[in-house]
Amino acid sequence: MAEQTVETPRHEAVDPGFIRLMVIAVLFTFGIMMFIFSFALSKDLNLLREAPGMVWAFICGAPNPDGPALPLLLTFGTLSLIGGFVAGGWHWRQNRLEKVI
């Protein structure tokens, strides 16, 4: 009798470009949502005008009398958007290098 071999389906690797695009989308979405939440948390325009000073004081470790929620949201939102732009530039560079090769 002849032996029967069973071939198992091979899983193809996920495209690195797709993973980079997903990371970019998550970072931008997270950053935008943090800014939306921070605008909803702020009660007036004067508070938003003072936001850069509050974020800087938060980074330096100075306590905020209103609590750390708004500076924390603004800091995370800013870092997330910066990360999204960096990841987008990295993705663009990788695509250009792949086309050259």
Domain boundaries, the chain: 16-100
DSSP E strand boundaries for 1-101: none
Q: In angstroms, rounded to a whole number, what is the distance separating the alpha carbons of residues 76 and 34?
A: 7
Q: In tens digits, what is the pLDDT along the chain, a chain of 101 residues?
A: 566 766 666 667 778 888 889 999 999 999 999 988 888 887 777 777 888 888 888 888 888 787 888 888 888 999 999 999 999 999 999 888 888 76
Q: In angstroms, rounded to a whole number, what is the distance separating the alpha carbons of residues 81 and 75?
A: 10
φ, ψ at 63 (rounded to 5°)? -70, 145
Q: Is 75:59 a contact under the CB 8 Å cutoff?
A: yes
